[in-house]
Amino acid sequence: MFFDVDGEVLVPDGPSLRTKPVVVLIHGAEVDHAFFKPWVTPLAVDAQLVFIDLIGHGRSDEGEPTDWTLVAWADAVAEVCVGLGIDAPIVLGSSLGGRVAMTMALRHSTLVAGLVIVNSVLDGRPERRIEVFRTLGGDDAADAARFDLEHRSPESKERYMRICMPMTVQRPYTEEELARLRPVSDRVMAALVALSATSDGLLGELGAIACPTLVVTGELDPAAPPEDAADLTAAIGPNAQLEVVPAAGHGVYRDQPDAFNALVRDFVLAVRRSNGSG
């Protein structure tokens, strides 16, 4: 697995060295860690950022079908953390990465100090997604989204990508941003499509997550609408808090980076204080 690091973990503090918290960042489906950059870079002032490319994505090995599951990805990220000596990280996952992060918290509860779940759901309701597209683009967008959900085909995907995809974010993608990404293989893509249709039974288990959790989504996110994010937050329970960011879509950290980074920074420092680290 490929990883990259932004920021030091030990900083001078008078006659001693102060340890900063570590945030492990897990990207979404079809993209890689480059999608976080440069939007979250300011967080490196207060935390060391460790970016991960999941197996089958970016600069990591492609792997095999047994590697392309929430459990396999979660275990692999945990193994990287242990191997690097990362103690009690806060794990931040976006979209698919949020599902991986939640799986990691369930399977490796003593390792994870906190969770930040961004633009991510488990059992989303299609009607909610379609209505967000209707708000963003009228009946044409809603019909394209519905058709792709109910009658997925190359033709439905082409229509969805042309009409709906630009509406998923409020800050348009640039050619340079997209060029930095490494596309996944056809085999991995097929696995991601299959995985998008299932929660792997996780929703009923989320109440077992004991660490502090911040759930963040955009008010205009059709893939993780605020109502779905609220359901996710409620399933985790009193340890979780929900923040819905105005004028943001599926990619809060790039649509509204200042607001997003402020939320994450406050959460990271609060977790640090609660753990008795100052």
DSSP string, 25-42: EE--TT--GGGGTTTTGG
**Residue 26's beta-bridge partner residues?**
52, 93
Q: Are residues 134 and 263 in the same domain?
A: no
Spatial contact of 10 and 38, defined as CB atoms under 8 Å apart: no
Q: Are residues 189 and 55 in the same domain?
A: yes
**Tens digits of residue pLDDT in 75-95:** 999 999 999 999 999 999 999
Q: Are residues 104 and 133 in the same domain?
A: no
Return the closest-CA partner of residue 220 out of 232, 212, 229.
229
Give me the phi and psi of 81, to 5 degrees please: -60, -45
Q: Are residues 24 and 101 in the same domain?
A: yes
Return the closest-CA partner of residue 75 out of 50, 54, 94, 58.
54
User: Which pair of structure tokens corresponds to residue 139?
Assistant: 């009946």
- Which range is most confident: 25-29, 158-162, 188-192? 25-29
Give the chain's domain count.
Answer: 2
C-alpha angle 68-198-134 in degrees, rounded to nearest 5: 115
Q: Which domain holds residue 202?
A: 3-123+174-274
**Tens digits of residue pLDDT in 126-160:** 899 999 999 999 999 999 999 988 887 888 889 99
The pLDDT assigned to 176 comes to: 92
Residue type, position 211, single letter:
C
Report the relative pairing of strands 10-13 and 3-6 from DSSP bridges: unpaired
Confidence class for position 275, pLDDT limits 50, 70, 90: confident
Q: What integer best gives the mean pLDDT of the chain?
A: 93
Confidence class for position 204, pLDDT limits 50, 70, 90: confident
Whether the upstream peptide bond of residue 38 has omega within 30° of 0, thus cis, is: yes
> Could you say which of 163, 185, 216 is where a domain stops?
163
Q: How many Å is the maximal CA-CA distance in the chain? A: 65
Confidence class for position 200, pLDDT limits 50, 70, 90: low
The pLDDT assigned to 274 comes to: 86
Q: Are residues 31 and 137 in the same domain?
A: no
The pLDDT assigned to 194 comes to: 85
Confidence class for position 196, pLDDT limits 50, 70, 90: confident
The verdict on residue 169 lying in a domain is no
User: Which pair of structure tokens corresponds to residue 257?
Assistant: 């980076």
Residue 37, class by beta-carbon neighbours within 10 Å (0-12 exposed, 13-18 middle, 19+ buried)?
Answer: middle
User: Which pair of structure tokens corresponds to residue 12?
Assistant: 């001078």
